[in-house]
Structure 1
């Protein structure tokens, strides 16, 4: 379903408020900014579902400070200029109280500096560039999901334990791909000084359809390990083409930085090879807690599929906004932004705290090897590692953040 520029609100919510969906008074409005078209549209769809589910739960329980919540979605198309324009529309025209979203690090790098102008809190749930809560940080930008620095520290620990010595990468030719490789290389070199960080790398453009020359080039270099950071539709296309070329039949240690995205795993099915390392911000079957079990069960009932990390992140971001409003006793955007600082909430993934100083959630990634097919139609994860956020997060000094 296309979700561009639509207002999502339940009929029950409207009846409870005694007003139309478009009414302005006594409504807390959340603006969602995600990719809702193109090869990565499924990520935005899952995020929209997670936000809708959280809002419906909150509204059915009486709302927040006696007010109902509404969701307005915009398609940023994975483009910085489009994302900035959409954010301004949501703030200045639609008068949202807070923003949630962003799939692309490129969009984050463009939008985060603008948040000081918009004076509205933004909770990032997907884009992983460390600069959003690093050198570009500000008092209005928060991130509830794992960033690249946290994820690549964890990946480097796993890579070091394999004993593989020659490492290269295949990643998208923009911030996410290059930053992932740089951070992985730095961490792995620190942990294993005798590793070789190869100069022969591959960075196809985001949205590329033919990965064959890049795959062949990497295979010719005969690495021991390959870090792969392609995602979305690119990840699906890459795996299918790599299978045809025998890439996974080589003796490589393969690490997909966001390979355990259920959006991609559902599309690939058995085509995702067993045994490769898959990283994710959240894995629905790796947290044995009541809040996670309830979230997963309810999500499956509603959408007939297990929740992705993007769905969980968006769901949790809505609850973080609710908690901040209750903490502030106010729905004003600037008050919400202040209240988010230092806030701790319990979420399906884990307890999350927005660290005072950089507004980054102290949350660790999950890594595991691709196992047998599960009853949910996706590869299971085995040898699961749920990393401690505090242990894999850079210090405040290292982030270069000056809020």
Structure 2
């Protein structure tokens, strides 16, 4: 069961005698109550990484201490939590956030307060481009990167008439803009015949599905996730929206969103996701075993993100010789480490990591959705050049 966090209550993953030895405090802010499907596994991934780092001697003998706050999926609450973590808890660094508009608020806060911030999960490109700053780095493959991974698959379908559905906030808007731009470049004759922007968490699936069906598209690009995705799939199945139509769908292959669909899981959608059950690399097998041994459960993508975020901070602190903000910035520019997905690097030009994603097809197997025919898309191959970034990114 998900623990309830409030801005005034936190979690310390280190207590007792170890505190006397000195710690590096990590202030973590996230939408635990609003997005439990992703963030409960994310928290478990963090806990596992903190345990491993501290068991191996910490950072030059100093342990990591994680102090968590809930942002209530609200930018104002996130900033207030960050202020409290700095002022009262005296944290050394900030990390976290899930929703893009919340992540942008914390990015700006980091700039104003000159504090190091690792944006673990929010996908908006603005975090490392238009709103990017010297204090903010981002781990997860961005909206641009994941859309760029899907566009070659979409263009290969050779479908002319596309309909689009997305959550109407920063992440959804930027995903759609990037998809339109990149698909038009790859397939100049493409037409976008319908566009449905749904309020986050409040999609009117019946009207959305009917509007898409009325446009008679050849294919659909979907950006909905979590409960909105479940409602959309259920209504689409009921009304036959997906019959005879290709669907390209961002994030749908993630267990957080695919597992709850159960026997309603679609077959044949092209998606980004995390097929934990089929990844056989040594790095992933080691992570999978450690996670299953500790939690008696399989990891979700959130587990990987939370785990790798903590491991990134640990690697950066080791390289920097501590948690001094300026030294951490220098250490993170070009920082390399091994994640459960393999080697990743934080690019100096925009502070974006090269962590990738898996691209494949969905299939309903015995009443459960899985990813098949998948491949790992290395994030380093789906990022703008340094010259392009200079045009996109404000001066630090």
Tell me the TM-score normalised to structure 2 length.
0.93
Q: Per-residue displacement from partner, 1:85-105 (whole Å, max 9, x unpaired)?
A: 222222222122222211111
Q: 1:136 and 1:231, CA in 2 relative to 1: closer, same or farther beyond 3 A? A: same
Match of 1:30 among 23, 26, 30: 26
CA contact (8 A) 1:144 1:352 kept: no
Q: How many residues align?
A: 390
Match of 1:392 in 2: 382
CA contact (8 A) 1:262 1:378 kept: no
Q: 1:18 and 1:217, CA in 2 relative to 1: closer, same or farther beyond 3 A? A: closer
Cα separation, 2, equivalents of 1:229 and 1:304: 31
Match of 2:5 in 1: 4
Q: Which range moves more in the overlay, 364-373 or 95-104?
A: 364-373
Q: 1:388 and 1:209, CA in 2 relative to 1: closer, same or farther beyond 3 A? A: closer
Tell me the TM-score normalised to structure 1 length.
0.91
Match of 1:133 among 128, 132, 140: 128
Flag structure 2 segments of 5+ consecutive residues without an equivalent.
Answer: none
CA contact (8 A) 2:121 2:140 kept: yes
Cα separation, 1, equivalents of 2:19 and 2:340: 33
CA contact (8 A) 2:25 2:65 kept: yes
Post-superposition offset of 1:286? 5.0
Match of 2:257 in 1: 264
CA contact (8 A) 1:144 1:360 kept: yes
Q: Which range moves more in the overlay, 41-50 or 363-372?
A: 363-372
Cα separation, 2, equivalents of 1:283 and 1:34: 24
Q: Which range moves more in the overlay, 67-76 or 211-220?
A: 67-76
What pairs up with 1:99-114 in 2 under 5 angstroms?
Answer: 99-114=94-109
Q: SS at 1:167's partner residue?
A: strand
What pairs up with 1:161-200 in 2 under 5 angstroms?
Answer: 161-198=156-193, 200=194
Cα separation, 1, equivalents of 2:365 and 2:133: 43
Post-superposition offset of 1:307? 1.6
Question: Is 1:323–2:312 an aligned residue pair?
Answer: no
CA root-mean-square deviation: 2.0
What pairs up with 1:275-290 in 2 under 5 angstroms?
Answer: 275-280=268-273, 282-285=274-277, 287-290=279-282
Q: 1:345 and 1:229, CA in 2 relative to 1: closer, same or farther beyond 3 A? A: same
Cα separation, 2, equivalents of 1:364 and 1:52: 22
Q: 1:239 and 1:344, CA in 2 relative to 1: closer, same or farther beyond 3 A? A: same
CA contact (8 A) 2:10 2:69 kept: no
Post-superposition offset of 1:349? 1.4
Cα separation, 2, equivalents of 1:321 and 1:84: 21
Cα separation, 1, equivalents of 2:239 and 2:130: 41
What pairs up with 1:287-298 in 2 under 5 angstroms?
Answer: 287-298=279-290
Q: Per-residue displacement from partner, 1:303-361 (whole Å, max 9, x unpaired)?
A: 34322222211111111111111111122334323311110111001211100111001
Flag structure 1 segments of 5+ consecutive residues without an equivalent.
Answer: 20-24
Q: 1:373 and 1:120, CA in 2 relative to 1: closer, same or farther beyond 3 A? A: farther
Match of 1:22 in 2: none
Cα separation, 1, equivalents of 2:106 and 2:386: 22
Post-superposition offset of 1:209? 4.9
Q: SS at 2:362's partner residue?
A: strand
CA contact (8 A) 2:209 2:236 kept: yes
CA contact (8 A) 2:341 2:356 kept: no
Q: SS at 2:328's partner residue?
A: helix
Question: Is 1:44–2:39 an aligned residue pair?
Answer: yes
Q: SS at 2:247's partner residue?
A: strand
Post-superposition offset of 1:7? 4.0
Match of 1:144 in 2: 139
Question: Is 1:351–2:340 an aligned residue pair?
Answer: no
Cα separation, 2, equivalents of 1:210 and 1:176: 19
Q: SS at 1:265's partner residue?
A: helix
